[in-house]
Chain A
Amino acid sequence: MNYDCVIIGAGVVGSSIARELSRYDLKVLVLEKASDVCEGTSKANSGIVHAGFDAKPGTKKAYFNVLGSKKMEALSQELDFPYKRNGSIVLCFNEEEIPKLEELKARGEKNGVVGITILTKDKLLEKEPNINKDAVAALFAPTGAIVCPFGLTIAMAENAAVNGVEFKFNEAVKEIRPLTSKQSDTGEVRGFEIITDTCTYTAETVVNAAGVYSDTFHNMICEDKIKITARKGEYQLFDKKVGNMVSSTVFRLPGPLGKGVLVTPTVHGNLLMGPTALDTDDKEDVSTTGKGLAEVSDKAAESIISVPGKFVITSFAGLRAHSDADDFLVGKTAEGFYEAAGIESPGLSAAPAIGEYLANMIAYDLHAVKKADFKAKRVGIKSMALSSAEEKAELIKKNPLYGNVICRCELVTEGEIVDAIKRPLGARTVDGIKRRVRAGMGRCQAGFCLPRTIEILARELEVDVNDITKRNPDSKYTYPHKDK
């Protein structure tokens, strides 16, 4: 056996499982088809840690959401990623619908969410003065929070790597085969062969954390077939100048396709609106559409006094892994085969809990023992933008590269970019830099810093500058000059 466990997918769920498994004395490999962690569903979502009032009591969604939400704050301190408990609000625009708020409150309480209250119109407007004045009441859940989805995923993956988990990128799993008795010396049927586009591995256990592709891997192993549909959600992100439009995450009463278009501050101080919900057959289709973006604006305009259209800095779309069963599939579904499939919202919130749950199950089955030297604590990349003047001076004194600003919109320095490249599981692409230190995430959207970031990547990775990519190997930026 090459590995005790192979995890398919380095999204937030795969990374969480990897991190939790790295507590044990096990040989673990994460296979990811993209060029970095956090490249699928995990990179394009609302960045919300849901309080847990929305999921139906008794479902896995409800269970893991509430548990994950409770773990998130401590985890953010342990692994040093941005998290803020800003509270969630659900707006009600119609006196007749107030009972639905009460229902939601009762449902939340049943799920174990604490502190939910119903706000009168006055209280609501006092708390959120930029809310549409037609709102008549709202539910308020103080445990709702926001998190940086990149920060969370990268922190867990990096900590897993520090604790010995191997990651392989740009390697797509094509097939998983249970090993037959013929292939096994003892005659016992155990383990799997994992065939990627470049290699074949064997492992005692396999974890399916493949996001929108989790049905493909499930159906290779299990008799009961499942179907995962990619449900596209489009978003618009706004300049930090309007980041204080709302302080809480603002929802509408949920409908059949999800929680609707929300308006929220991000943990970095931008304003975010979205998502739409449209099922698509193409599991790679992360394109935005004119219609979708218009829908985001129109729906958001119902929740707040006005959409600050001229402050849009970017738009993006993500794909949720929606299961026909309408719940998470989390657990052991065949001997040695573990799954976290159909992880749509509240998947980000639930990820830390799913990771712990599956890792414990796998460790138990493999009779694994805990490592004595597990390093639980991670120190993230120091952010100049978030440092005080004294801290800034200290950082530059220690490393002068912290005095060289590369991304001026977000005040990201060369020191931070070099750290992002050099640390374990470091950035290899421009998007990787962006997600680790925010270079290019500001209002000019990398117009100024892109050539400089490319240059630093090439220098630190010791590769030709024309070989630097945005993400996957086909996404190169530049060509050598014709004369060279």
Chain B
Amino acid sequence: MTKDIVIIGGGPAGLAAAVAARDAGAKEILVIERDEILGGILNQCIHNGFGLHTFKEELTGPEYASRFIKQVEERRDGIDTLLKTIVIDVRAEGDTKTVTCMSKEQGIFTVDCKSVILAMGCRERPRGALNIPGLRPAGVYSAGTAQRIVNIEGRLPGKNVVILGSGDIGLIMARRMTLEGAKVHAVLELMPYSGGLKRNIVQCLNDFDIPLRLSTTVIDIGGRERLEYVVTAEVDKNLKPIPGTEEKIECDTLLLSCGLLPENELTEAMGVKINPKTGGAEVDESFETSISGVFSCGNVLHVHDLVDFVSEEAKEAGKRAAAYVLNTVPARSTNEIRLVPGAGVRYTIPVSIRKERLEDLLTIRFRVTDVYKDPEICVYFDDKCIRRQKKKIVAPGEMEQVILRRQDICAEENIKEIKIQLE
């Protein structure tokens, strides 16, 4: 099989990228999805709050996905989809990319294409990676796994619940488990601030009187067969448990919402340069990775809080991939401008730009390293501060962005570096 663009993943990123690529003129687009239906993780996110930016209304996850699925259906003249198919290898040799797939129906087969858009999403950080000591009973789930069991399969993972980690899925699941009749004792957060959106803390915890205990973690897991209890402890500034603060909570379920990890095994195997800060590919202004013609967007690039921004980013990546296969974009020159995270900024997307490939507006997305009150978000062109923007509060749980104009960037002659930093 030969295609212009192969998109790996049929979740929100893959779907938006496909639609945008088609609209930008690409004709042979293939979306490969491992699940039985399109939509990715949105299918198990039955709560509302999706689409406020994109559609100016509040949708559930499946509704949000269905809007994009409909757009794909309307573009069947250029977009093919393969379901229940997993990509096991991607190889880039010269201009041709070879995608090796596997499915029940077709066995092992390859698709050759000019461009690949990586949109595989992310996975949850498991208990093992958190080094929580104790026994290993049934009843310890990552929050997303529990969400699937409840929302897709209609069963309960447990009745007495403690949640470790205040990431958005953890907060959403605190509310969901409560609505399903379980008792949620507390949401614990290792850091002194929540990793989730403010609105989720209000709507999922405060509205249900579920306590959020900051600077608290689980230091022991008890129960030989099924979980019987967890021991919690407060932590000090170095995140070490403080002796004497231990508390035993009897529970049959521990949900973990302790971070999401972009799922980049295919990306790494094909030799794309990875940004250790995000766990995703290093991309330029076009969402193009270190391998020409390979693009990355959505949660496989960096973990987002809002699906709306996933769609927005993927749309851009789809458009750029179309330009790549249609040959309407200048090749990458060596005159790149590096984007550098300064004080208080953990990473930026993109990591580099080239003037000749910029569109009118450049959106730079970034996350901060800590909670800061009344900071100024500053943009430097080399040593020159060109913008200061006051904010009331910034937090690692909420992605930030600055938008720069091409004309401002191009007005500077020999600019080498753009730095974003908090002051």
- Tell whether, in the assembled complex, residue B145 and residue A404 are in contact, meaning their CB atoms are under 8 Å apart: no
Cβ of A57 within 8 Å of any chain B Cβ, yes or no, is: no
Given A396-B102, A403-B103, A450-B145, CB of A315 within 8 Å of CB of B128: yes
Interface bits B141-161 vs A (CB < 8 Å: 1, else 0):
110110011001111111100
Cβ of A200 within 8 Å of any chain B Cβ, yes or no, is: no
Q: Which residues of B contact A404 (CB under 8 A)?
A: 84, 103-104
Cβ of A475 within 8 Å of any chain B Cβ, yes or no, is: yes
Cβ of A293 within 8 Å of any chain B Cβ, yes or no, is: yes
Q: Contacting A474 at CB < 8 Å: which of B128, B131, B225? A: B225
B27 to chain A, nearest CB (A): 29
Interface bits A427-470 vs B (CB < 8 Å: 1, else 0):
00000000000000001111110110001000000000110011
Q: How far is the CA of A210 from the CA of B100 in the complex (A)?
A: 48
Q: How far is the CA of A472 from the CA of B137 in the complex (A)?
A: 10
Q: Which residues of B contact A313 (CB under 8 A)?
A: 126, 128-129
Count of chain A residues with Cβ under 8 Å from any Cβ of B?
55
Q: Contacting A284 at CB < 8 Å: which of B126, B137, B142, B224? A: B224
Q: Which residues of A contact B181 (CB under 8 A)?
A: 482
Interface bits A288-325 vs B (CB < 8 Å: 1, else 0):
11101100000000000000001011111000000000
- Tell whether, in the assembled complex, residue A405 and residue B34 are in contact, meaning their CB atoms are under 8 Å apart: yes
Cβ of B343 within 8 Å of any chain A Cβ, yes or no, is: no
Given A403-B103, A411-B88, A477-B138, CB of A393 within 8 Å of CB of B156: no
Q: Contacting A472 at CB < 8 Å: which of B100, B141, B152, B225? A: B225
- Tell whether, in the assembled complex, residue B144 and residue A447 are in contact, meaning their CB atoms are under 8 Å apart: yes
Q: How far is the CA of A287 from the CA of B135 in the complex (A)?
A: 4
Interface bits A259-296 vs B (CB < 8 Å: 1, else 0):
00000000000000000000000001011111011000
Cβ of A329 within 8 Å of any chain B Cβ, yes or no, is: no
Q: How far is the CA of A405 from the CA of B225 in the complex (A)?
A: 28
- Tell whether, in the assembled complex, residue A289 and residue B159 are in contact, meaning their CB atoms are under 8 Å apart: no
- Tell whether, in the assembled complex, residue B138 and residue A470 are in contact, meaning their CB atoms are under 8 Å apart: yes
Q: Which residues of A contact B134 (CB under 8 A)?
A: 287-288
Q: Which residues of B contact A448 (CB under 8 A)?
A: 123, 145
- Tell whether, in the assembled complex, residue A315 and residue B131 are in contact, meaning their CB atoms are under 8 Å apart: yes
Given A312-B129, A445-B127, CB of A478 within 8 Å of CB of B156: yes
Q: How far is the CA of A474 from the CA of B139 in the complex (A)?
A: 11
Q: Which residues of A contact B157 (CB under 8 A)?
A: 477-479
Cβ of A480 within 8 Å of any chain B Cβ, yes or no, is: yes
B246 to chain A, nearest CB (A): 12
Q: Contacting B133 at CB < 8 Å: which of A287, A465, A471, A473? A: A287
B45 to chain A, nearest CB (A): 16
Q: Which residues of B contact A471 (CB under 8 A)?
A: 225
Cβ of A225 within 8 Å of any chain B Cβ, yes or no, is: no
Q: How far is the CA of A220 from the CA of B149 in the complex (A)?
A: 47
- Tell whether, in the assembled complex, residue B128 and residue A397 are in contact, meaning their CB atoms are under 8 Å apart: no
CB within 8 Å of A: which B91-139 residues: 100, 102-108, 123-124, 126-129, 131, 133-139
Count of chain B residues with Cβ under 8 Å from any Cβ of A?
52
- Tell whether, in the assembled complex, residue B108 and residue A314 are in contact, meaning their CB atoms are under 8 Å apart: no
Q: Which residues of B contact A60 (CB under 8 A)?
A: none
Q: Which residues of A contact B133 (CB under 8 A)?
A: 287-290, 292-293, 315
A285 to chain B, nearest CB (A): 8
Residue ID in chain B nearest A481 by CB atoms = B154
Cβ of A71 within 8 Å of any chain B Cβ, yes or no, is: no
Given A287-B134, A469-B138, CB of A480 within 8 Å of CB of B156: yes
Q: How far is the CA of A409 from the CA of B103 in the complex (A)?
A: 16
- Tell whether, in the assembled complex, residue A314 and residue B128 are in contact, meaning their CB atoms are under 8 Å apart: yes
- Tell whether, in the assembled complex, residue B104 and residue A403 are in contact, meaning their CB atoms are under 8 Å apart: yes
Q: Which residues of B contact A288 (CB under 8 A)?
A: 133-134
Cβ of B219 within 8 Å of any chain A Cβ, yes or no, is: yes
- Tell whether, in the assembled complex, residue B155 and residue A481 are in contact, meaning their CB atoms are under 8 Å apart: yes
Q: Which residues of B contact A289 (CB under 8 A)?
A: 133
CB within 8 Å of A: which B233-281 residues: 241, 265, 268
B99 to chain A, nearest CB (A): 13
A94 to chain B, nearest CB (A): 31
Q: Which residues of A contact B265 (CB under 8 A)?
A: 409
Residue ID in chain A nearest B155 by CB atoms = A478
Residue ID in chain B nearest A388 by CB atoms = B108
CB within 8 Å of A: which B8-31 residues: none
Q: Contacting B155 at CB < 8 Å: which of A292, A408, A444, A465? A: A465
Q: Which residues of B contact A477 (CB under 8 A)?
A: 138-139, 157
Residue ID in chain A nearest B135 by CB atoms = A287
Q: Contacting A444 at CB < 8 Å: which of B126, B139, B149? A: B126
B170 to chain A, nearest CB (A): 14
Cβ of B86 within 8 Å of any chain A Cβ, yes or no, is: yes
- Tell whether, in the assembled complex, residue B155 and residue A475 are in contact, meaning their CB atoms are under 8 Å apart: no
Q: How far is the CA of A400 from the CA of B104 in the complex (A)?
A: 5
- Tell whether, in the assembled complex, residue A405 and residue B102 are in contact, meaning their CB atoms are under 8 Å apart: yes
Cβ of A389 within 8 Å of any chain B Cβ, yes or no, is: yes
Cβ of B226 within 8 Å of any chain A Cβ, yes or no, is: yes
- Tell whether, in the assembled complex, residue A408 and residue B86 are in contact, meaning their CB atoms are under 8 Å apart: yes
Q: How far is the CA of A484 from the CA of B136 in the complex (A)?
A: 29
Cβ of B180 within 8 Å of any chain A Cβ, yes or no, is: yes
CB within 8 Å of B: which A195-254 residues: 237, 241
Given A293-B133, A403-B104, A479-B155, CB of A451 within 8 Å of CB of B148: yes
Q: Which residues of A contact B135 (CB under 8 A)?
A: 286-287
Cβ of A392 within 8 Å of any chain B Cβ, yes or no, is: yes
A286 to chain B, nearest CB (A): 7
Q: Which residues of A contact B124 (CB under 8 A)?
A: 444, 447
- Tell whether, in the assembled complex, residue B86 and residue A393 are in contact, meaning their CB atoms are under 8 Å apart: no
Cβ of A401 within 8 Å of any chain B Cβ, yes or no, is: yes
Q: How far is the CA of A396 from the CA of B85 in the complex (A)?
A: 13
Q: How far is the CA of A476 from the CA of B133 in the complex (A)?
A: 21
Q: Which residues of B contact A316 (CB under 8 A)?
A: 136
A259 to chain B, nearest CB (A): 23
- Tell whether, in the assembled complex, residue B226 and residue A476 are in contact, meaning their CB atoms are under 8 Å apart: yes
- Tell whether, in the assembled complex, residue A481 and residue B86 are in contact, meaning their CB atoms are under 8 Å apart: no
B178 to chain A, nearest CB (A): 12
Q: How far is the CA of A150 from the CA of B236 in the complex (A)?
A: 41
Q: How far is the CA of A451 from the CA of B241 in the complex (A)?
A: 33
Residue ID in chain A nearest B153 by CB atoms = A451
Q: How far is the CA of A446 from the CA of B144 in the complex (A)?
A: 11
Q: Which residues of A contact B225 (CB under 8 A)?
A: 469-475
Residue ID in chain B nearest A401 by CB atoms = B104
Q: Contacting A482 at CB < 8 Å: which of B86, B137, B156? A: B156
Given A288-B134, A314-B128, A403-B107, CB of A475 within 8 Å of CB of B123: no
B129 to chain A, nearest CB (A): 6
Given A312-B131, A470-B138, CB of A389 within 8 Å of CB of B224: no
Q: Which residues of B contact A (CB under 8 A)?
A: 34, 84, 86, 88, 100, 102-108, 123-124, 126-129, 131, 133-139, 141-142, 144-145, 148-149, 152-159, 180-181, 219-222, 224-226, 241, 265, 268
Pairs of residues from A and B, 8 with the lowest C-beta to C-beta distance, nearest first: A314-B128, A445-B126, A475-B225, A474-B225, A470-B138, A403-B104, A396-B107, A400-B104
13 new A-B contacts, CB < 8 A, other than A403-B105, A455-B153, are: A287-B133, A287-B222, A293-B133, A403-B107, A408-B86, A446-B145, A447-B144, A448-B145, A469-B138, A469-B225, A470-B137, A472-B224, A479-B158
Q: Can you sample 14 A-B contacts with CB below 8 Å?
A: A287-B222, A312-B128, A312-B129, A312-B131, A396-B102, A443-B126, A445-B128, A447-B145, A451-B149, A465-B153, A473-B225, A475-B226, A476-B138, A482-B181
